[in-house]
Structure 1
């Protein structure tokens, strides 16, 4: 009986203890649950809501995408959100990659899935292609063609008063050998009057060579065109002085090609260029004049003044003439000293017009004025038109390549949507039609721009042709009057 009583008592105590434990837990559990609901639940709501906010924002931006209808809108086309960092070469490749969505397919799929859930409208779905996959090169290739300006070397057509002013030195002759040296250092990449200095200098050099080449043998050297302006390339840039048009009679097409191939890149080895001229001229006879177009002083640690002295030492029929193009006072002083040491003259040109006028009016002997009038002819029917037409064609072709790259991505995106069952076959067909229509529209705008630039070339040719014809008529009338 005692054992039984103890057993019953033990069971009763265990039961009461268990009840007591349950009661405590029941008191604590609601408090714990309340804490979780108070802290955790709102966070979960925010986490679930955040993607919805992003997708809603993206959908609003997609709906606002402007499909280009004009050349100006084409030029300002937005880069795709997933393609904006794609390299220019990839975006304008003539042979686009077969895997157009490499590296972005997973992310694109999620974005397109969200767009498809939000709407079945194929107009908006097509805009989502532009929004996410638009070509990142449009804002470069289209403005490049828009900015193209035809540039034919302007003739120098002297008026009678200019001829009479120079009668005292009319017998001055051109040198038998004219060595032209063109600075192609990195500073020539800067702009003057809205145009790159290198482009302006090339045109001036071509004009001069065409004129002086009527009586003189012509050579063209370039310096500063190798390497880059970085320290690692200094030795290469400073050591390469290259003759791109060997000393010979002037040939317009060959000279044009030689000049056109020069690109401004690196340092300024002016002393090295003068040393090179001295070296190659040791075996030459006759009078030699160096004609240097530069926008800065020596940057390769040489001594151009000393080199100029060496070039003319013991030679009365040698000169170093320099035009400083948009040069600051400090660098101008060095160039002046170089010209003086080289028994020549220094001229300053601060802008495009001054450079072109100085090249022709100061470097060309007045005795050549009659020859110049005969030498200069209309650009009509010349290779120079073909050359500029070809530049326009190349830029337009680059735009076409970019259009093809973009279209390929759009088609692949439509396939992804179908495979992932975001759209039906019918919706895909409508999207493909929109992709084709978009391509045709962009090619139409490209064609319009190309045609516009060709017309500008023709207009410039006609302007110069008319200018030459008007001058020739005036000169003929003056000759007739002088005969009376």
Structure 2
């Protein structure tokens, strides 16, 4: 009896384990089906609130589709939906679309369902970016020279040497922009304006090594002429300036001595322009160097202290005084663009070429067109990618017998009409942006011509 009881107990336990084992797959399968059903659900009533208007203002309001809300923006704005499988989207969308058709087989309802399931989530930000586009041309650099007294009547320097500080402190920001970038932009504008009457040279210092003590010797000896004295060439000068990176110490005295040495081999007077945000840190004496430079060949040394502390400003002002030039304080990015001033009036050659050199040229205008068209192209690509998804879904539904060919054609017509409206508005927006580029180019040209006339009058007054 005892052995029989044990046997029956073992049998019972085995049957219980088998039942438990069989129920697990059943429960998992039921849960999976429930999840899939929930995922496939689409609020059919909410679909009627979806807009099918093709205006850009309505497209901006469009939310991401149920199956496309997480599509990468890089893919949705790329031509032909690169790296994204349309088939995957259609596979995911079909259950919701079938459910919609079962509830309402009207073509307009299916059109709305396609948008609700496969619409792009990126119209809002891309259209806003396009609407916010403005010409990116730099404001023209049109300095006001000192046209009175000795400064106005002084001879025009035949050579100009720019000393540009590229020490590590130039990596700091002013007005939200890196000081090095602001300084380089200002120097390029300055050279572009005065480049016809003077041979230009660009010397950079502080761009070697780093600010560490171990790199002090390398940095303090790193003084380089990156644009050799010659007639101004916009492309070459810009390339030379763009390659400069701020890194190390400040060998200001050495840079002045280098400029003075360069000027000794030049014909005619030379003006040195220093753009710096700090005092000497390499043990040199920049005031003495400026005094010696001004005593024999260099005409004047002008200094701009860019966002400097009091101690640095005092030293830089002393450098300008020793160099018989002027010290200018620039405490912001805007200041730097406006504080570089002539110590002489622009030459007739400068004035003759100003309307050609200063306003955006044809290449710059073309580049601006391309920049804006790329932003607008992102919107067009989103439309094309959306249309591909919609048409692929319609094809699948027709092939599966869910909708008729007539139904598919009717919905395709609605889709096409919507995108035709959108693309017409997009073309209109592009034309408006091109007009803005052209208008800004003409505004700059008018500003330059007014400046040229003002300079001519000043020159006449000085000569009388």
- Same fold per TM (> 0.5)? yes
1:56-71 aligned within 5 A: 56=43, 59-67=44-52, 69-71=54-56
Task: Extract unaligned runs of 5+ from structure 2.
Answer: 1-30, 208-218, 265-269, 295-300, 321-325
* Separation of aligned partners in 2, 1:86 and 1:351: 40
Find the partner of 2:377 among 381, 384, 397.
397
CA positional deviation for 1:433: 2.3
CA contact (8 A) 2:62 2:123 kept: yes
Cα 1:317/1:279, change in 2 over 3 Å: closer
Answering whether residue 270 of structure 2 is matched by residue 269 of structure 1, we say no
CA contact (8 A) 2:206 2:247 kept: yes
CA contact (8 A) 1:155 1:207 kept: yes
Answering whether residue 141 of structure 2 is matched by residue 163 of structure 1, we say no
Partner residue in 1 for 2:413: 433
Partner residue in 1 for 2:20: none
* Separation of aligned partners in 2, 1:342 and 1:478: 29
Find the partner of 2:97 among 112, 115, 121.
112
Partner residue in 2 for 1:27: none
CA positional deviation for 1:119: 2.0
**What is the SS of the residue equivalent to 1:217?**
strand
CA contact (8 A) 2:397 2:403 kept: yes
Find the partner of 1:376 among 342, 354, 361.
354
CA contact (8 A) 1:336 1:346 kept: no
**What is the SS of the residue equivalent to 2:67?**
coil
Answering whether residue 195 of structure 2 is matched by residue 210 of structure 1, we say no
Find the partner of 2:434 among 443, 450, 454.
454
* Separation of aligned partners in 1, 2:305 and 2:316: 9
* Separation of aligned partners in 2, 1:415 and 1:244: 66
Cα 1:309/1:390, change in 2 over 3 Å: farther
* Separation of aligned partners in 2, 1:145 and 1:466: 27
Partner residue in 1 for 2:3: none
1:48-447 aligned within 5 A: 51=38, 55-56=42-43, 59-67=44-52, 69-97=54-82, 100-101=85-86, 103-150=88-135, 151-156=137-142, 158=144, 163-164=147-148, 167=151, 170-171=154-155, 173=157, 176-180=160-164, 187=173, 190=176, 204-214=186-196, 215-219=198-202, 246-247=227-228, 248-255=230-237, 269=247, 271=249, 284=262, 286=264, 289=272, 291-292=274-275, 305-307=280-282, 309=284, 314=289, 316-317=292-293, 321-322=303-304, 324=306, 332=309, 336=313, 339=316, 345=327, 347-350=329-332, 352=334, 354-359=335-340, 361=341, 364-368=342-346, 372-377=350-355, 379=359, 382-447=362-427
* Separation of aligned partners in 2, 1:122 and 1:433: 10
Q: How many residues align?
A: 394
CA positional deviation for 1:271: 3.3
CA contact (8 A) 1:180 1:220 kept: yes
CA contact (8 A) 1:347 1:358 kept: yes
CA contact (8 A) 2:142 2:448 kept: no
Partner residue in 1 for 2:12: none
CA contact (8 A) 1:116 1:125 kept: yes
Cα 1:291/1:452, change in 2 over 3 Å: farther
Partner residue in 2 for 1:464: 444
CA positional deviation for 1:426: 1.5
TM-score between the two structures when normalised by the length of structure 1: 0.62
CA positional deviation for 1:429: 1.5
* Separation of aligned partners in 1, 2:256 and 2:432: 48
* Separation of aligned partners in 2, 1:76 and 1:389: 27
CA contact (8 A) 1:184 1:223 kept: no
* Separation of aligned partners in 2, 1:478 and 1:320: 22
CA positional deviation for 1:333: 5.8
Cα 1:317/1:276, change in 2 over 3 Å: closer
CA positional deviation for 1:452: 0.7
Task: Extract unaligned runs of 5+ from structure 1.
Answer: 1-43, 225-237, 298-303
* Separation of aligned partners in 2, 1:53 and 1:60: 15
Cα 1:337/1:55, change in 2 over 3 Å: farther
CA contact (8 A) 2:206 2:223 kept: yes
Q: Which has the larger radius of gyration?
A: 1
CA positional deviation for 1:141: 3.3
* Separation of aligned partners in 2, 1:197 and 1:69: 45
Cα 1:146/1:200, change in 2 over 3 Å: farther
For residues 407-453 of structure 1, what are the alpha-carbon distances to aligned partners after superposition, in whole Å with 9 as ceiling and x for unaligned? Answer: 22222222233334332221211222233333333322222121111
* Separation of aligned partners in 1, 2:463 and 2:254: 51
Cα 1:223/1:390, change in 2 over 3 Å: farther
Cα 1:384/1:417, change in 2 over 3 Å: same
For residues 224-256 of structure 1, what are the alpha-carbon distances to aligned partners after superposition, in whole Å with 9 as ceiling and x for unaligned? Answer: 9xxxxxxxxxxxxx9xx9999744532234555
CA positional deviation for 1:156: 1.1
Aligned-pair Cα RMSD in Å = 5.1
